[in-house]
Structure 1
Amino acid sequence: ETLASVTSVAAIGRDANDSFRGEVRLTLRPASARTRSNTEIADALRAELTGRIPGLKIRTRAPQGQFLLERVLGTDDGITVEVQGHALETLDALSRRAARRVAAVPGVTDVDSSRDAGMPQARVYIDRRKAAELGLSPGDIARTLEIAIAGADAGDFHVEGNAYRIFVQLAAAEHLTPSEILDLRVRNTRGEDIELRSVVTTDPGLGPIVIERKAQRRLVKITAGVAGRDIGSVARDVERALAELPRPDGYSLRVAGTFEEQQRAFEELLVSLALSLALVYMVLAAQYESLRTPLVVMLSVPVAAIGVVLVLVLTATTLNVQSFIGCIMLGGIVVNNAILLVDQARRLQEGGAPVRAAVTEAGRRRLRPILMTTLTTVLALLPLSLGLGEGTDAQAPLARAVLGGLAASTVITLVLIPVVFSLVHPDRDADRRAKARAD
């Protein structure tokens, strides 16, 4: 009753860990036609599918608040931990311990490591003493193995002015078994053919196909999904869990991926917010030909922050990229009401009205337009802020931030701005009368 269609089944092929990957995308029915959210359905699928098919690792994920950001960044992993070091064995052991710590954090799902799997390989150990007794050097043995398996360049063959490369390799070398490789013979310094198995031993195991590096250091990535919590709080819990994990010198653990890009986006958005407020102040200062009057208008911006915080807390909405963009929009929206009020009060004061009478009359004249502009904006954002309709969840934080900030700023502005205006622009006639009485 919840599934509308299977939109795509994509076979992605083989990855660096020599495993096949596939992706199935499901389209759900409209939210009004089902009783569970997309996150609840993903949790149910995860519980149903995990461990059902041996050898198959299944990850389920539902789009959440950061879905658009993750698509822009080209990733769908909620948390990425980068483990860096030098020795592969130490790096593998450290990454496994880190993966267990990450999996223990509430809200983390589908923990995976880039080194969980590998290609079967066999390490060859040379008995140097025995090889020396039989007249073989480690270099002779290594060259024999290299030519037999990987091949070797044996020079060029020239015919009628054309050069052809000569490459020597055993036929069907990729199909040789370890036992067949050990049957190969190496010629010693006395011209005798010695079987490899008499001077070497093998140790089967798994080895990486690709060794990732970052900043000239070997790298293992641990990825995980996030469900039921915001990515910021989960990432901070992961950082605390990893901080308690002992690590050798020269090895590092850090949270990267989507969380790192989110933090960088917040820093850039903070600069954008400061720049937008500076531009608004510069325009107002040029229009009013004053440095004090724009400060009265700009006072409505921090007041709007009260409403933003209140609405985000009441709706259990996190301060994410969308809500931060809403805060930037507020920087240009909330000053409009203050501009209407301050501009009218200045005109009345310049016409000779006392400051108290000027702000009172300005409030009476501008109350209706202020309420009309605020109500139209609030009502227009209300459906989006409530998450009504399909696809509105991603943009709801933006609407909630704008709605809360605008509503709070309007209510407080009607009281606070007249008071501050009276303090910044004192009544000159009253001052002159007070001075005359004193004389």
Structure 2
Amino acid sequence: ASALTTTCVFVPFFFLSDSRSATWMRDAGLAICLAVLVSMVVALSLLPLAASRLFREGAERYDRYIKLAVVAAVAGIVWHKIGAAGKMGAWWERWLGLFSDSITGINWPTGLGLGLIAMAMIAWAWYIRRHGLRSSYAELLGWTLDHRWVALVATVGLTATGYYAYQQIEHRGTPWQSERRVDMSVTIDRSYSLEKVKEHFSEIERQLMERKSELDIESLTTRFSQRRGSIRAYLVNADDGQLTTQEAGTAIKALLPEKVGYTYKMGRSRSWQGNMLGVEVQLQGRNPEVLAVLVEEVAAGLEKLPGVEDVDSSLEDGEEEVRVEVNRAQALNYGLSPQEVASGIASALGTRRTSGFKSEDREIDIVMQLNEGDRSTLDQLRNSTFEGRDGTSIQLGSLADFHIQRGPRDLRRADRQLNVTVFANTKNRKQAQDLATPIREMMSQMALPPGYSWDLGRAARWGQEDADDSNFTAIFAVILIYLIMASLFESLIHPFTIMLAIPFSLIGVALGLSIFDVPFDNNGALGLLILFGIVVNNGIVLIDHINHLRAEGLSRREAILLGGQHRLRPILMTAFTTILNLMPIVLP
């Protein structure tokens, strides 16, 4: 029964949708199901054989040597992991700092609840030390049976505390690669030459790298052209740094040298707790001018929301360009067609291949254009000449008008429609989750033209798909557990005595994640399902023994008290062996 209930917890993984997390969860479910089935075969075949060989008279004399061997093996592993002197101190300092920061950062209701639980656990440990574990547990069971309403109120209070803590922790889907990064874009005025831009970015690199340790910068990269540039700072690990991702970005932006013609914009921040921090609204439509107006309205609405910083959009202005409009009538008077004028400008300024030169090992492109000194300014372009019908030289300025304006904007398409994203940074992902409802209310009050739509972006869609898969898995697993236990106990009522304990497993999970400030992702969901299986297995072991004692003639109260004492040690051994088995994954 224990093997079947554990297996059925992971059977729903094979019925998940085609979301991002479903692929690896199917693989994990298949591996766990196979491992449980193999362990069942081992438990029913090899363990009885091993017991027949080891549980015989005289085997106790080897206990001392086995204990020494276990202690020596554990000591060797610890010594190997510690390595050089001082490594254990650094490990302890890191985890102590993480624990203290998590404790000081929780809100007072959760802290009060944790304090009361800790005081109760300390008092119970002191009582157990004086009266023994089994007798103390029997007295606790007797007290709860005599004060059922008090026990019910305490249970409801603990459940409410766990549910509240579960709502406060950060939720995300697929775990991301641990990376903290700050991106910043730079818009440069056309009056600066490339050499001047290079000098400015060199000054930026110098100032930031001089304060590398203060800003938690691990490495810095910059890219620039004559009109645009970007700054990307990779930050150290969050446990080793002093600033959050948002604080580091604000400090970096404050240190950038101010100069006329340079505009700095904060990009999307990346954090060790997820891919990108912040919120976003994606707009879809067909007309770029209408989308530009909607982007301004959405950006203005986001700036009014609390906790929102660095509002920007993916709608980028095009590069400045010179637009030449040829006067057709004037060109025809000199015997030139507009196409000839356009071809002459393209040949003089472009970099298109006109011919080629074949060498012994390769072919070399030949590009013909004006010297760089003859095409560096707009006046030089106006003064360029063409040969007319009668062989006279004609200046281009007399044939065409020149205008400097922005080129086409950078727009992306999705589902055959233009797509623009308005985004803003937040301090953490939990704050971004809290802003989802205000953003929906803001967008519901905004009247979009027909044919235009919005959503909360790709990350929100992925998160919703992962949440739907997790809910489906949990509900399907509970149904399968009930069916197996109903067939085991031959009753439709007895399974509820075990299944009612499943929701209480969320208490410890939520409080633990809240204390250590760990997000609840797909790995957490997988661990929670494993916990469901452990709770059900412990319940089967306990309830089956209580039913056996009642069949022997004991009353319900006596069977519960005696069954609890008899099964206390196996349940504790199951819990502690599982914890110790998973401990190497938790500790570095």
TM-score band, normalised by shorter chain? 0.5 to 0.7
Q: Is this contact kept in 2: 1:17–1:117, CA < 8 A?
A: no
Aligned-partner Cα distance in 2 for 1:60–1:158: 47
Please report the TM-score for the alignment, with normalisation by the length of structure 2. 0.49
Matched, 1:333 2:531: no
Indicate how the Cα distance of structure 1 residues 301 and 173 shifts in structure 2: closer, same or farther if over 3 A, else same.
farther
Indicate how the Cα distance of structure 1 residues 130 and 313 shifts in structure 2: closer, same or farther if over 3 A, else same.
same
Aligned-partner Cα distance in 2 for 1:210–1:246: 25
Instruction: Name the counterpart of 2:466.
Output: 265
Q: Deviations over 1:385-405 (max 9, x none)?
A: 9xxx9x9xxxxxxxxxxxxxx
Matched, 1:46 2:250: yes
Instruction: Name the counterpart of 2:369.
Output: 169
Aligned-partner Cα distance in 2 for 1:230–1:328: 27
Question: Deviation at 1:11?
Answer: 0.9
Indicate how the Cα distance of structure 1 residues 18 and 291 shifts in structure 2: closer, same or farther if over 3 A, else same.
farther
Instruction: Name the counterpart of 1:213.
Output: 413
Bigger helix fraction: 2
Please report the TM-score for the alignment, with normalisation by the length of structure 1. 0.62
Indicate how the Cα distance of structure 1 residues 131 and 291 shifts in structure 2: closer, same or farther if over 3 A, else same.
farther
For 2:442, which of 241, 255, 264 is the aligned residue? 241
Instruction: Name the counterpart of 1:57.
Output: 264
Instruction: Name the counterpart of 2:274.
Output: 69
Matched, 1:11 2:221: yes
Aligned-partner Cα distance in 2 for 1:174–1:329: 74
Instruction: Name the counterpart of 1:99.
Output: 299
Indicate how the Cα distance of structure 1 residues 163 and 359 shifts in structure 2: closer, same or farther if over 3 A, else same.
closer
Question: Deviation at 1:94?
Answer: 3.3
Aligned-partner Cα distance in 2 for 1:293–1:182: 93
Instruction: Name the counterpart of 1:429.
Output: none
Instruction: Name the counterpart of 2:319.
Output: 119
Q: Is this contact kept in 2: 1:122–1:204, CA < 8 A?
A: yes
Indicate how the Cα distance of structure 1 residues 122 and 237 shifts in structure 2: closer, same or farther if over 3 A, else same.
farther
Q: Is this contact kept in 2: 1:5–1:28, CA < 8 A?
A: no
Matched, 1:182 2:392: no
Aligned-partner Cα distance in 2 for 1:200–1:107: 52
SS at match of 1:98: helix
Overall identity of the aligned pairs, in %: 26
Instruction: Name the counterpart of 1:299.
Output: 500
For 1:254, which of 436, 440, 455 is the aligned residue? 455
For 2:235, which of 14, 20, 25 is the aligned residue? 25
SS at match of 2:228: coil
Unpaired runs of 5+ in structure 2? 1-212
Aligned-partner Cα distance in 2 for 1:150–1:115: 28
Tell me the amino acid that sits aligned with residue 220 of structure 2.
A
Bigger strand fraction: 1
Aligned-partner Cα distance in 1 for 2:255–2:414: 33
Tell me the amino acid that sits aligned with residue 233 of structure 2.
E
For 1:198, which of 374, 392, 398 is the aligned residue? 398
Tell me the amino acid that sits aligned with residue 257 of structure 2.
I
Indicate how the Cα distance of structure 1 residues 5 and 90 shifts in structure 2: closer, same or farther if over 3 A, else same.
closer
Q: Deviations over 1:170-224 (max 9, x none)?
A: 3439953233223334556777654332343333234468554333444443332
SS at match of 2:325: strand
Q: Is this contact kept in 1: 2:315–2:411, CA < 8 A?
A: no
Aligned-partner Cα distance in 1 for 2:452–2:255: 33
Aligned length in residues: 371
The higher-RCO structure (CA 8 Å, 6+ apart) is: 2
